Amino acid sequence: MTTSEHCRCLRIGDKAPDFTARSTLGQVSLSDYRGRWVLLFSHPADFTPVCTSEFVALARAADRFAALDCTLLAVSVDSLYSHFAWVRAIHDHFGVEVRFPIIEDPTLILARAYGMVAEAAHDSSTVRTSFFIDPEGVIRALACYPINVGRSVDEMIRTLSALQAADAAGGLAPEGWQPGDPLLVQPEPELDAIFAQKGPTDWYLDAGAGKK
C-alpha cells in the first residue's frame, strides 16, 4: 500500500489523501473513483459482532448507494485472506454477498493517513470512521463511532442524500431531513431583505430551496 499523505487530522473540506492498496476486488486507488461519490469507512476487525452487523446491512443496501452514484470502500487492519474468509462466512450465514472492496491495512498506514488512529497506536480499537468524499475528492462529512456502537446505514444514506440535494439546490438540509423534503434557503445577510420579510424568522428559516 502507498499513501500520498502522512498522519494528519482530516477535516471537512480537506482533500482526501489518495492511496493504492490491495482489496477483495483487486488493487484499488481512491483516484480511480474520481467523478463519483465515495463512502470510505473503516471497521476495527473482521469476525466481530458489531462489524458483522454493519457489513450485512451495507451489503443489503448496496443498490441504494449505487442509485446515489456512490461507491462503498471498506478498510480494516485485517489481512486480505481474513477479509475473504469473513465475507464467505457472512455469505454462508446471512445469504448476502459483500461485493464492495474491503481494503487491507495491516500496518495502519491508511488509518493513520486519515487520522483514524493516533500516530503511536498499535491497534485499530478506535477505528470506526466514515468519510463522505465528493466527486472532486473533497471530504464533505465524516463520522466516528466507538468500538462498541454500530453505525446506522439509513443515516449514512440520509447524509449522502442531503449532501447531494443541498449541492443541487444550493440549500440547507434541516434536522431530520429526508429525501423529498424541502430544503431551507441560504439566509440573505442584508438588512433590507430582513425587514422585507413578513415573519420575524422568514429571512433565515425559509423552506423554499429547490422549489420549482
Q: In 3-state terms, what secondary structure has residue 144?
A: strand
Task: Give a yes or no: residue 64 inside a domain.
Answer: yes
- 0.85 exceeded by pTM: yes
Show the cell assigned to 154: 439509513
Q: Give pLDDT < 70 ranges for the chain.
A: 1-8, 118-127, 201-204, 206-212
What's the total number of domains in the chain?
1
Does the active-site annotation cover 9? no
Task: Give a yes or no: residue 183 inside a domain.
Answer: no
| Identified catalytic residue from 7, 51, 70, 144 | 51
β-bridge mates for residue 143, sequence order: 130
C-beta of residue 66 within 8 angstroms of C-beta of residue 37: no
The CATH number covering residue 10 comes to 3.40.30.10
Task: Give a yes or no: residue 92 inside a domain.
Answer: yes
Quote the CA–CA distance of 33 and 100 in Å, as a whole number.
13
**Tens digits of residue pLDDT in 16-30:** 999 999 999 999 999
Indicate the average pLDDT of the chain.
88
- Domain interval for residue 13: 2-150
C-beta of residue 106 within 8 angstroms of C-beta of residue 199: no
